Amino acid sequence: MADITDIKSILYTEKSLNLKESGVLVVQTSSKVTKNQLKQVFREYFGFIPLKINSLKQEGKEKRFRGRLGQRSSFKKFYVKIPDDAKIDSLAV
């Protein structure tokens, strides 16, 4: 069962801000969250059901940190199409 704490952040990049104009919100979550669980979180905490949800698993890159080889964390990214009449006041830019 997922809850609001499984949403790590809302991504604000150039691409995600362009998508926001068309009603798509980009959400970063933990790797264990599914589409149905995310839909339930939006229904319970924000009061609307998303029209469409697409998911993307972002694998962590291998990088060097201070000369040593390291690994960035993997995460899951969701593209959530919200209805036109839905407003999320706490997520305004």
Question: What pLDDT score does 93 carry?
Answer: 43
CA-wise closest residue to 56 among 40, 70, 85, 35: 35
Mean pLDDT of the chain: 89
Which amino acid, one-letter code, is at 29?
T
pTM attached to this predicted model: 0.82
**What are the angstrom distances between the C-alpha of 1 and each of 35, 37, 88, 92?**
12, 7, 22, 27
- At 4-46, the pLDDT tens digits run 888 899 999 999 999 989 999 999 998 899 999 999 999 998 8
Domain ranges of the chain: 4-83
**Structural domain 4-83, CATH architecture:** 2-Layer Sandwich (3.30)
